Chains A and B, each alone.
Chain A
């Protein structure tokens, strides 16, 4: 029996995961996504990253970015190194791709703000 907390939505359901029967029995989840989360926590825990990337524009020293999809939890710091090696040199906008398919993990690093278009 394992206990964890579903982080998919703000409700934060307390999950109990019972593997004893060979099949995964998940209880405590208020919706389906909680079960999917529990299964992925055991087999392949994934997370997203929200961070910033440096820019070449002094009035906006950093631009908020996030991943377009979750990546394996164990690769978070590898991806952070990639993001911190980049400097944005054009006025990209919200949703624009900063790094495509970062480390071939199937997720893009995308801008999560229009700051560079707003402050000129």
Chain B
């Protein structure tokens, strides 16, 4: 075998890439991991708060601790990892992949039979939010604030407003407060919060930081540096209600308005993207629509727990190691409109689907819902949920092999709502 030739190349060295590389190696594959940053660990390097690892390690760990444990596993197996190496392009040639990467040593091309894309997600930025006014400095994402505070040790704000109630924003509200900054409030345009309930409690309520639902920022003030923002109430259609605007003086506006899977490389390969998850459409082995290309972690769909990312990535890594070119026999997994999304979106009936993990989110807050799996109109599985909330991802393990599916089967997930829709406070 040529020195630049591998069975599996994993792109991205966050928790997803690390777990995928380790499990591919354990399944006997020759693996290379490529990461563009200087250090492995992905976004967890800057997530210094705890809450990671309860499922995977049975311990409450901080992000760096969790990532470092995963890095230790990689090192124990002597899996080569190229850092400060950016994958720019991937070509598919006669069923194999040529991965072009740039590093300080120049450009290199690596060849592989299977690819795992573990490129994580990125934050929505100010460009994707409509706000009137100039563009003074002092407007940045929660992840940028996290980078400054936790890696560089520089407090990016003294008195700030947070727009959006995503988890990173909530976590940064607490973090900045601990370091002595004043967080005037978290403003959320939707009538329900985007972040996990526990983060509302432990990050906002514990520190008396107010949360304003159905409110948004409509204007920013200041020439070079931000001096204030205008806050207004919004109606059901998320449009500002006239006459409700008021000015709040602050030196920073921190955005926590959502995450999007990072899939430039996948798109370059012609991978089909699911408009609901914004990540690749995949099967029970995490294989995308392009044979031999696997996707996992936040590149596949935005998870709220690193533990789930590792679990999903380990499955992808193993499947990539075991990948052989055989024809596919796809069966769609349909989900009713009460689901925000459901992953995987299809199954490959030529492979075993005996222990398939299904991840989903509900579209709205539902109380007392019954999830029903039916095949050709016949109920084959059901599960009750006291409540379902979009911010809280659910997972199910199902044995699809027992259902005798064919390519023509109508496999359908529905949510029956007994309690009706309910908006959380």
| Interface residue from B149, B202, B392 paired with A7 (Cβ < 8 Å) | B202
In the complex, the chain B residue whose C-beta lies closest to that of A93 is: B68
Query: What residue of chain B has the Cβ atom nearest to residue A9's Cβ?
Result: B54
Contact A10 B62 (CB under 8 A): no
Chain A min CB distance to B166 (Å): 16
Q: How large is the interface on B (under 10, 10 to 19, 20 to 34, 35 or more residues)?
A: 20 to 34
Question: What CA separation (Å) do A94 and B72 show in the bound complex?
Answer: 12
Beta-carbon contacts of B21-51 to A below 8 Å, as 1s and 0s?
0000000000000000001000000001111
With contacts A7-B201, A64-B150 taken as known, whether A50 is within 8 angstroms of B65 at the C-beta atoms is no
Contact check, B152 vs A64: say whether CB atoms are below 8 A apart: no
Q: Which of A34-81 touch B at CB < 8 Å?
A: 47-52, 54, 61-62, 64, 66, 73, 76-77, 80
Given the known interface contacts A12-B392, A50-B50, A76-B178, the answer about A62 and B153 at a Cβ–Cβ threshold of 8 Å is: yes
A48 vs B62: C-alpha distance when bound (angstroms) = 11
A76–B392 Cα distance when bound, in Å, is 28
Given contacts A10-B305, A62-B153, A112-B65, contact A51 B48 (CB under 8 A): yes
* A73 partner residues in chain B, CB cutoff 8 A: 206
Instruction: Describe A's contact surface by its main secondary structure.
Output: mixed
Nearest Cβ on chain B to A70's Cβ, whole angstroms: 10
Cβ-neighbour of B48 out of A10, A64, A114, A119 (below 8 A): A64
Any chain A CB within 8 A of the CB of B93?
A: no
Residues of B near A80 (CB, < 8 A) are: 178-179
Chain B, residues 138-150, CB within 8 Å of chain A (1/0): the string is 0000000000011
Contact of B153 among A7, A50, A61, A119 (CB under 8 A): A61
What count of chain A residues pass the 8 Å CB interface test? 31
Q: Would A118 and B198 count as touching, CB distance under 8 A?
A: no
Nearest CB in chain B: distance from A95 CB, A: 9
Q: Are B64 and A64 in contact (CB under 8 A)?
A: yes
Query: What are the nearest 4 A-B pairs in CB distance?
Result: A62-B153, A113-B64, A12-B198, A64-B48
Q: Which residues of A line the B interface, CB within 8 A?
A: 4-7, 9-10, 12, 14, 47-52, 54, 61-62, 64, 66, 73, 76-77, 80, 84, 94, 112-115, 118-119
